[in-house]
Amino acid sequence: MPDDRDLAIETRSLTKRFGDVVANDGLSLKVRAGTVHGIVGENGAGKSTILKMLFGFYQPDGGEIRVFGTPARFENPAAAMAAGIGMVHQHFMLVEPFTVLENIMLGAEGERNLDEARRKARQALLLLERQFGFNLPLDKPVEELPVGVKQRVEILKALYRGAEVLILDEPTAVLTPQESEQLFALIRQLKADGKTVLFVTHKLNEIMAVTDDVTVMRGGRIVAERRTVDTSAGELAELMVGAKVARAKARETVEGKGVRLALENVSATDDQGHEALKGVSFEVKDGEVLGIAGVAGNGQTELLEVITGLRPVTGGSIAYEGAVVAAPGKVTDPISLRRLGMAHVAEDRLKTGVVESFSAEANTMLGYQREPDFSRHGILRLKALAETAKRYFESQDVRPRNPKLAIGSFSGGNQQKLVIAREIARDPKLMVIGQPTRGVDIGAVTKIHDQITEHRNAGKALLVVSADLDELLAISDRIAVMCEGVLVGIVPVEDADEKTLGLMMAGEKRKAG
């Protein structure tokens, strides 16, 4: 038995309940000091809950937390930080207009005189930077930094506060493969300097690449603990879902490929008026899935919006079935586009795709509220709506099976299943899908991928924007890569792999395939 002190973090029968839902059920987690420890699990497996207890956001209902052998009770994140636990959140907690230095010292100024505090912080940071091999522009405003660098600011911020244990929550979700590699190098460096890293992800190849130990969670429980060298991605995937992962449906050859959607030299600006799309041209044919890859924020959002009628183009044109639907001075509204057979699964579900506080039932008609099955003479047909919602819930196995609950109270996967049901119900000729499986658990991922492939096999056109390369590689016929608003190139999926796509995502030109 290792001594208690060898465990950086130990939880004993840690339990957290929300009402009668047990989110964490008697978790006994052992994180060896000086290791990189991975936690994997589907969405809703309880990963966030245990992290939030470790960082003092939630207080456990039972069990205890020990940090380096000492029982700890964190009333708030400040207490957790004082005990040497640092956390890098999925969504960064940075003040964008502040400089790197100011962000790092925020809340830990230590002095009333800010100039003095800045001087001291700068000294301390330079030491830390040297120790861990950082090189951050301390006087640059955070908003000017790329995502990967912002993440480093978060890590340095935690180290500055004396973190011995660093919790990284889905750190690679926003990174390019290259940036991820740099992050892994940093993690190894931290480990070499004696820090402990708790790494939470649902990407199994990352677990295999960087961790020493791995804990698998499912349904609020720990179902397995492995030394990483003794396991495989396949085994972990099985443990996560509790059954063999079904292989994605096969793509069939589809005859008669007409051009469904054609973009020609499309340009558009973002909300700030900066150029976000620069002369993008491509076609989507019936019976194919065109995947759009790229690091978040390289024009994909605007691309989805111009196609679905949510943003005007400033140059070029978009043709649907050969007829121009968007050009400078011409916007076709979303309702008309839907009636032409274009469905839109919004990239940011909660900001665009659903109204969080409304019932799942009410969300069932969002976007289709003017169709005769949901309203007649301006009066809603609530009974028909309830029946439709019930049908979607059953066909998609949405749980819990109660359409009257607010959609915000469903898990991401169940929300997305309902959204897909809503959009696919009218058998659209073109589906424009942003991040089909963001925040969706593995069980639902397979189902959604199958639906995409089935729709394609039925001869329909699909455009899928995703930040997940594995996903695009699994479902696309062709993959287009965007970088800084430019379409870098299009490669057939047979010729695509993570490395070439990664290079293209970083802007390296490639002959269109």
Residue 22: both structure tokens together: 């047990």
Q: Is residue 308 helix, strand or coil? A: coil
Residue span binding another protein (CB under 8 A) among the ranges 161-169, 173-181, 360-368, 460-468: 360-368
Task: By CB under 8 A, tell whether 269 contacts another protein.
Answer: no
Residue span binding another protein (CB under 8 A) among the ranges 314-322, 406-414, 448-456, 465-473: 406-414
- Please provide the distance, in angstroms rounded to a whole number, between the alpha carbons at the two ends of the chain: 58
Q: How far is the CB of 254 from another protein (least distance, A)?
A: 29
Site for another protein in 409-428 (CB under 8 A): 409
Q: Is residue 47 helix, strand or coil? A: helix
Site for another protein in 12-41 (CB under 8 A): 17-21
Residue 415: both structure tokens together: 């929300």
Considering the complex, state which of residue 384 and residue 473 has its C-beta at the smaller distance from another protein: 384
Task: By CB under 8 A, tell whether 365 contacts another protein.
Answer: yes
Question: CA–CA separation, 470 vs 485, rounded Å?
Answer: 22
Task: By CB under 8 A, tell whether 362 contacts another protein.
Answer: yes
Q: How far is the CB of 484 from another protein (least distance, A)?
A: 24
Question: CA–CA separation, 500 vs 506, rounded Å?
Answer: 10
Count of CB atoms situated within 10 Å of the CB of 411: 18
Q: 328 φ, ψ to 5°? A: -55, 130
Considering the complex, state which of residue 191 and residue 349 has its C-beta at the smaller distance from another protein: 349
Considering the complex, state which of residue 331 and residue 486 has its C-beta at the smaller distance from another protein: 331
Residue 313: both structure tokens together: 């183009």
Q: How far is the CB of 150 from another protein (least distance, A)?
A: 24
Task: By CB under 8 A, tell whether 366 contacts another protein.
Answer: yes
Number of residues that bind another protein (CB under 8 A): 38
Q: How far is the CB of 492 from another protein (least distance, A)?
A: 32
CB under 8 Å to 263, separation ≥6 — which residues? 280, 281, 282, 283, 307, 316, 317, 318
Distances from the Cα of 409 to the Cαs of 23, 44, 51, 224, 493, in angstroms?
14, 12, 20, 28, 37
Q: Is residue 368 helix, strand or coil? A: coil
Site string for another protein, 367-396 (x = CB under 8 A): x-xx---xx--xxx-x--------------
Where along the sequence are the contacts to another protein (CB under 8 A)? 17-21, 308, 310, 333-335, 338, 344, 346, 348, 351-358, 362, 365-367, 369-370, 374-375, 378-380, 382, 405-406, 408-409
